[in-house]
Amino acid sequence: MNHFIGLVGTNSDNSTNRKLLQFMQKRFSDKATIELMEIQDFPIFNKPVSEQLPEVVQNAAEKIRQSDGVVISTPEYDHSIPAALTNALNWLSYGIYPFVDKPVMITGASYGTLGSSRAQSHLRQILDAPELKARIMPSSEFLLGHSLQAFNEENALNDMDQVKKLDGLFKDFQVFVELTNQLTNAHEANKKEAEDFDWETI
Amino acid sequence: MKLVGIVGSNADFSYNRLLLQYIKKHFKTFVDIEILEIKDVPLFNQSHDQTDSAPIQKLKRKVLAADGVIIATPEHNHTIPAGLKSVLEWLSFKIQPLSNKPVMIVGASYYNQGSSRAQLHLRQILEAPGVNAIVMPGNEFLLGEVKDAFDDQNNLKDQGTVDFLQTCLEKFAKFIKVMSAINEPQKDLSAEEDLEATGKIDTTIEGVDMSAEDWVEQASKKVGAAEGDAYVKLNRGILTVNQLNAFLASMPMELTFADSNNQFLFYNYTAEKEDMFAGRVPGQVGNPLANCHPPATYKNVKWVISQLRHGNEDVVRIHVPTHGPDKYVVHSYQAMRDEADNYMGVNEYILDFQPIIDWYLQQTGQRLAKDETVDVDATSSASTTQTEQVDSVSGASEKDNATVEADSVSGASEKADEPAEVDSVSSASVKS
């Protein structure tokens, strides 16, 4: 059984993105374990010269390293991902490279109609940066709009069409993880490129 | 033209900071740039609202007061750094100081990309409805391979780069002018100013009639105010009340303080009313500002105070020309703020600049010559007619039958029979 990290893309106490990941955790419990990861305790990133990483960052990196893949659920703040998520990714690519070649599935929820579509598209570009270089599941999007009304009292998604879509995407993600595990030819080079990426020596 | 430059990095060393410092220094005759840091801004969290914290309020105030904003962004992970994104989230949460504000984007990076992808994201972010800035189109300034871009004086080495930067800035200045023409006027908050001082702030002394002639004596008795040789601890020093008094009295200008509740609380009493540029009398202290001004001037007084209170200006200066051609008397209304940047009141200082100008000319052996290329602005044009009644934040409550008297937070007369009344507060507002 696959073990995934469900990265909550916000530091907000109330988040429908957290709810969405919790729903997936429960819904797919027979297919995979999804361990939720929070980012609100990450200090603000300021490129510390010492490159000494906070413990919370090291722990998160280790968990990501050991997982089979990561599901990131992102809200959208000002047409992009929240600063808190940018911050977490800044840390998780500063001298450490847990995301390199890691399969990632992107989901997102928003209060409005668009379901964080622009944030998701930024997130793809960000995860493609040399220090992150994740394997993002291509040509797939899960956009949960009007997320405040999307869940019932049991915190399950109301709309069965959406649930069906999510079921399909999650199945695809598991196939994608298998495929990704075969995409190993460039792994060493990718890893090296990430490690060679040094702010001070380029 | 007044701009702010936001350093898009919270790192101790940043080439983007260096770039802004270079722009500030190199183009200082063309634009006035204040550089703002984002280091102290906490990470945005919508569950923990810190909009009112000092670093965010400061950024808000500075951005509001600026004609335009230059943001210098590094690139981390193909986007803008978390620190900069966090700032923009705060500035689009409960407050929108960037709304309709012209913004120019620049960026520097170690690689040859010059933060190109971060700049694209930044454009999209600034366009979001919550931020609603007006980003100058085109003219991307991408400074790649930044480690080799500066010489040891921190100047840009490449002349072509400098020329392009200048073109960008010139276009930005034009862009600001065009945008200010199509922008809606900012909401006028001056009507909310309560010149009767009916409110109450932490330092208001209650239970004493504000209009009382001996308000100072009554109020100081009530609060047991220190006096004489009692010591007062200041932010860096200790003075006795007598020393403090002498210190303030020795200032070569007339000083007046009215608190954020619009109550007139202090002036450095060194001369009688008729010997002052703006006549004040001891009995006025304690008055609400409304008592110190004739009703006809309330609109202008409110305008000045609201500019200061809401951070549109740090200082409003008004030249009052009625003291004669041998003087250049300026009333400066300076906002006072506490360490958390909250408005504490207005410090008005009235100073005759002429002796300083004369001294400077004498010391440097220079002469004044009229610059034919410069239009006389609205404020100084008031000086052309010496017979005009000028009234800055004040005017008049008492009638004086002979000389024209200018005055600020104080008494002084308004003469009904004078021709065309020029009001320097409002002429200053035309200028701004």
Q: What's residue A35's pLDDT?
A: 98
Which value does ipTM take for this structure?
Answer: 0.86
Q: What's residue A201's pLDDT?
A: 46
Could you give the percent of chain B with pLDDT greater than 70? 86
Q: How far apart are CA B284 and CA B305, in angstroms?
A: 19
- Write out the E strands in A9-91: 32-37, 69-73
- Is A46's CB within 8 Å of B39's CB? yes
Q: What's residue A186's pLDDT?
A: 78
B94 in A contact zone (CB under 8 Å): no
With contact defined as beta carbons under 8 Å apart, do A4 and A69 qualify? yes
Q: What's residue B375's pLDDT?
A: 67
A122 in B contact zone (CB under 8 Å): yes
The number of residues making up chain B comes to 432
Q: How far away is chain A from the Cα of B89, in angstroms, using its nearest Cα?
A: 7
Q: What's residue B115's pLDDT?
A: 86
B130 in A contact zone (CB under 8 Å): yes
- Is B125's CB within 8 Å of A78's CB? yes
Q: DSSP character for A42?
A: P
Best probe of the B interface among A16, A80, A92, by most B CBs < 10 A, is A80
> Which of A45, A126, A202 faces B83 most closely, judged by CB atoms?
A45
pLDDT digits (tens), chain B, 432 positions: 899 999 999 999 999 999 999 999 999 988 999 999 999 999 999 999 999 999 999 999 999 989 999 999 999 999 999 999 999 999 999 999 999 999 999 999 887 777 889 999 999 999 999 999 999 998 889 998 888 899 999 999 999 999 999 999 999 999 999 988 777 666 778 888 999 999 999 999 999 999 999 999 999 999 999 999 999 999 999 999 999 999 999 999 999 999 999 999 999 999 999 999 999 999 999 999 999 999 999 999 999 999 999 887 889 999 998 888 899 999 999 999 988 778 999 999 999 999 999 999 999 999 999 888 776 654 443 333 333 334 444 433 333 333 333 444 443 333 333 333 334 443 333 333
With contact defined as beta carbons under 8 Å apart, do B79 and A80 qualify? yes
Q: What's residue B401's pLDDT?
A: 35
Q: How far apart are CA B62 and CA A48, in angstroms?
A: 28
Q: Which residues of chain A have a CB within 8 Å of the CB of B110? A: 199, 202
Q: Which residues of chain A have a CB within 8 Å of the CB of B121? A: 80, 122, 125
Residue B133's contacts (CB-CB under 8 Å, 6 or more residues apart) are: B69, B98, B99, B100, B101, B102, B103, B126, B127
Mean pLDDT of chain B: 86
> Which of B39, B86, B125 faces A79 most closely, judged by CB atoms?
B125
Terminal C-alpha separation, chain A: 41
Burial class (CB in 10 A: 0-12, 13-18, 19+), B238: exposed
B83 in A contact zone (CB under 8 Å): yes
- Is B85's CB within 8 Å of A131's CB? no
- Is A46's CB within 8 Å of B83's CB? yes
Q: How far away is chain B from the Cα of A31, in angstroms, using its nearest Cα?
A: 32
- Is A44's CB within 8 Å of B86's CB? yes
- Is A84's CB within 8 Å of B77's CB? no
Q: Which residues of chain A have a CB within 8 Å of the CB of B46? A: 12
- Is B124's CB within 8 Å of A202's CB? no
Please report, for residues A140, A142, B187, the alpha-carbon distance to residue A4 in angstroms, rounded to integers and kept in the order given.
18, 17, 51
What φ, ψ does residue B14 adopt, rounded to 5°? -145, 130
- Is B77's CB within 8 Å of A80's CB? no
- Is B78's CB within 8 Å of A118's CB? no
- Is A89's CB within 8 Å of B83's CB? no
Q: How far away is chain B from the Cα of A175, in angstroms, using its nearest Cα?
A: 27
Burial class (CB in 10 A: 0-12, 13-18, 19+), A157: buried
Q: How far away is chain A from the Cα of B76, in angstroms, using its nearest Cα?
A: 7
Q: Would the pTM of this model clear 0.80, i.e. be above it?
A: no
A132 in B contact zone (CB under 8 Å): yes
Q: Which residues of chain B have a CB within 8 Å of the CB of A132? A: 77
B123 in A contact zone (CB under 8 Å): no
Please report, for residues B168, B262, B365, the alpha-carbon distance to residue B26 in angstroms, rounded to integers and kept in the order given.
14, 41, 27
- Is A83's CB within 8 Å of B86's CB? yes
Q: How far apart are CA A22 and CA A2, in angstroms?
A: 17
Which of B279, B214, B394 minimizes the C-alpha distance to B269? B279
Q: DSSP character for B200?
A: -
Q: Using CA coordinates, name the residue in chain A closest to B39.
A: A46
Q: How far apart are CA A86 and CA B77, in angstroms?
A: 9
Q: Which residues of chain B have a CB within 8 Å of the CB of A56? A: none
Q: What's residue A197's pLDDT?
A: 67
What φ, ψ does residue A110 adopt, rounded to 5°? -145, 160
